[in-house]
């Protein structure tokens, strides 16, 4: 079946942000006495909404995070993004090469999505078709967000193609009945990441955005 819509995750697919976010949270959590590292947070929570990461940490830790934790983490991350955030190399040209509709479906909150996409010059490529996990009951790896995006775009799930960098995101696409390509070109993707995406259900894995348009075209979407 041909593809009528390409759905992009944001962090780790459009922008190289996962390593930055993990660094901020590792430092903030460590200061509170919760022992972790950026690498551990990347391994466990890439693609998972912050609210769900917080719930897991609080359960394991046996105590609640400070009421202002999210606000302080977002402020620290915004400052880091303003200085260091970059789009994934080649993503603009990749978007130029895709002729069918595109949208974003991300675990990030709407305000963060607006900020990071504007900082990297990508916002107008997708607006207004930018969807957040805050709009659904369950985040990735549940299929809710991808199904919501497909419904809003008026496309049957089986005719959507998802571009994801996380195991949780790939699992969400598979659960939604959507074919998915795994991207491993972001700075947080270490050895073996592509194999993990394949095991989760990615139909193909690539590490260079110059390969995306041809991969999409092979599936009848351009």
Task: Provide the domain limits for residue 47.
Answer: 18-84
Measured at the alpha carbon of residue 15, what is the angle toward residues 183 and 123, in degrees to the nearest 5? 120
135 and 90: one domain?
A: yes
27 and 131: one domain?
A: no
Q: Is the Cβ–Cβ distance between 64 and 155 less than 8 Å?
A: no
Query: Which of 84, 101, 123 is a domain's end point?
Result: 84
Query: Which of 57, 84, 111 is a domain's end point?
Result: 84
Query: Which of 42, 57, 84 is a domain's end point?
Result: 84
For the chain, the domain total comes to 2
pTM for the predicted model, two decimal places = 0.86
Give the pLDDT of the chain (222 residues) as one tens digit per residue: 689 999 999 999 999 998 999 999 999 999 999 999 999 999 899 888 899 999 999 999 999 999 999 999 999 999 999 999 999 999 999 999 999 999 999 999 999 899 999 999 999 999 999 999 999 999 999 999 999 999 999 999 999 999 999 999 999 999 999 999 999 999 899 899 999 999 999 999 999 999 999 999 988 754
Cβ neighbors of 215 (< 8 A, separation 6 or more) are 181, 204, 206
No. of H helices and E strands in the chain?
A: 11, 6
128 and 143: one domain?
A: yes
């Amino acid at each position: 079946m041909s593809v009528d819509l390409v759905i992009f995750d944001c962090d780790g697919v459009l922008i190289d942000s996962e390593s930055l976010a993990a660094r901020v949270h590792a430092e903030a959590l460590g200061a509170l006495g919760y022992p972790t590292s950026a690498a551990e947070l990347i391994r466990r929570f890439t693609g998972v909404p912050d609210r769900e990461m917080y719930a897991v940490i609080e359960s394991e830790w046996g105590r609640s995070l400070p009421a202002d934790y999210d606000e302080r983490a977002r402020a620290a991350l915004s400052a880091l993004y303003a200085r260091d955030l970059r789009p994934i190399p080649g993503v603009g040209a990749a978007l130029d090469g895709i002729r069918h509709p595109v949208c974003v479906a991300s675990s990030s909150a709407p305000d963060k999505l607006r900020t990071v996409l504007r900082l990297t010059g990508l916002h107008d490529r997708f607006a207004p078709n930018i969807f957040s996990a805050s709009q659904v009951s369950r985040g990735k790896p549940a299929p809710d967000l991808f199904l919501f995006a497909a419904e809003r775009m008026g496309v049957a799930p089986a005719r959507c193609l998802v571009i994801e960098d996380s195991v949780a995101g790939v699992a969400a696409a598979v659960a939604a009945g959507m074919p998915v390509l795994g991207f491993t070109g972001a700075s947080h993707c270490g050895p073996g990441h592509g194999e993990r995406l394949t095991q989760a259900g990615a139909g193909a894995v690539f590490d260079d955005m110059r390969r995306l348009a041809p991969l999409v075209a092979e599936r009848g979407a351009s």
